[in-house]
Chain A
Amino acid sequence: MNINQNHPLLTDNDPQEELVTLNLGPTHPATHGVFQNVLQLDGERIVSGVSTIGYIHRAFEKIAEHRPFYQITPLTDRLNYCSSPINNMGWHMTVEKLLNIKLPKRVDYLRVIVMELSRIADHIICNTIIGQDTGATTTFLYLFQFREHIYEIFEEVCGARLTTNIGRIGGFERDFNAIAFAKIRKFLKEFPDALREFEKLLNRNRIFIDRTAGVARVSAEQALDYSWTGPLLRATGVDYDVRVSEPYSSYEEFDFEVPVGTSGDIYDRFLVRNEEMWQSVRLITQALDKIEKEPKGIFHADVPEFYLPAKEEVYNNMEALIYHFKIVMGEIDAPRAEVYHAVEGGNGELGFYLINDGGRTPYRLHFRRPSFINYQMFAPMSKGMLLSDAIINMSSMNIIAGELDA
């Protein structure tokens, strides 16, 4: 007698009699964010998928048309909230480009430190979560502690941790204090050991390689066709990095490598992000050395028309009071022009397209959000993939819902 009479054994290759519709999201623990995918499953294999996004759309582009420049910085915080400082700096630099403000070198180097720290924080989140999703919780717990250390540095620099609103147009709101520098040096001393340990746990780990290598391969042609940027594009072998291609904030003075992968699979993306963390450590070390050689205490450009004066100046100095009033009330003329500025965000090219009509608010502001543009390939590339592979594919794309929906 056949024991499987009622429940015939099916292999992976046998087609199922009917497809199952699975709503992955909007709030699913495995998607790490609020977005939905309606998947048609044949057994465990995905037949087709439709992505639905927009669950946390907050109309930032519309709000930005009603806010003066300095009030838009908090909006940029909430794009990719895993690396807010990069967004903040990108926005400041866009306005500085519009206003033709040249920054002192020391400010550029301070910005490099802040941006590279947040790049490390961003990549820590992505890479440890790939580990987590493949079943390696340990790695998540080991490295995530250093994200906390980075947030402590941000807290010392600007008072906030996640949505930082760090810096101002023309520089920083205050100088880094001695504790901040001490914490950065402590981080640089301790982080490499932890990262090395993290790499030892995963890089040659048989289970991890089996889960990631060769999964979700993307060719360079495909990636460029879908306008991918950032670590995802570099994993396919294209060495495009905004920091090198259009250096901003004095990146051209720094010595660093742009790591690239070969096959564009999840394993390559993981390795590229790991190597970028090493490069960020190099960049921060160099920036600290360069700051030593610069005159102390300079943390903003000398542009009184755009940079808010210190409060005690405002109370005691006529000019400062006038500028304070004019800046807050938006009485300062800015050129009527349009400008596009891009920075290398955690996920790729983060662009700001700003049209100014001479009013107190932008006429139009558009964010080129890498997560939004990278994510559109997810549903087409999931076809024929196992559901569990699609999940780690999503983790490795590091889709941040805030940046996806704006």
Chain B
Amino acid sequence: MEETTVNHELLQQLSTRFGERITSVTEPYGLLTFETGKDSVIDVLGYLKNDLGFSFLTDITAVHYPEKQHGLAVVYHLHNMVKRLRIRLKVFLSEDKAVIPSATVLWNGANWMERETYDFFGIRFEGHPDLRRILNMDELGVFPMLKQYPLEDPNRVDKKDEYFGR
């Protein structure tokens, strides 16, 4: 497949540059996905942006895997509009030390995406100009998208419906 060869070339360029710092490479549905550490994330993003043409930041979000040792994954989607390619980059953080450098040094658009991720997952973006909650109220006290928080008050019995998953 054509897409696979393009991804393969990309991966080679990335590994020559970063070597061991690029791990867990997969390609679900043709979208090149890899992991890196939080110390090298800005280097990798900067290299992707300035040298490989992935100059468009599509999205930043996070995923919580409570059973893993490093249970919080920050997920970046980048886009090369000229070559019509997308790439996905993940950084796994441990829950008790969820700190990662902010991508606002590369894109101004990262500002609200990181605020949203902080708001829902409690991940602190170092160097972010204005890291406040964005959709939830300031007094919330918890980070609601973490898996330990149920959707509804667990003490309510009138809405229990195990068969339908709620």
Contact = CB atoms under 8 A, between A and B. Distances in A.
Interface of A: 53-54, 57, 59, 61-63, 65-68, 97, 224-228, 238, 240, 245-246, 329-330, 337-340, 342, 349, 351, 353, 355, 360-361, 363-364, 366, 368, 372-373, 375-377, 405-406
Contact of A227 (B61, B109, B116): B109
Interface in B52-105: 55-59, 61, 63-64, 75, 77, 81, 84, 86, 88
A150 to B, nearest CB: 29
A225 B58 contact: no
Contacts of A59: 144, 151
B136 A66 contact: no
Nearest to B119: A54
B109 A226 contact: yes
19 contacts: A53-B135, A57-B136, A59-B151, A61-B120, A62-B144, A63-B151, A225-B108, A226-B108, A227-B113, A245-B84, A329-B163, A330-B165, A339-B28, A340-B77, A349-B58, A351-B77, A364-B64, A373-B109, A377-B108
B11 interface: no
B29 A368 contact: no
A97 B77 contact: no
Given A61-B145, A227-B57, A340-B88, A376 B109 contact: yes
A340 B61 contact: no
Binding site secondary structure of chain B: mixed
B131 interface: no
Nearest to A240: B81
Contacts of B163: 329
Nearest to A67: B165
A372 B117 CA distance: 13
Contacts of B165: 66-68, 330, 360-361
B142 to A, nearest CB: 12
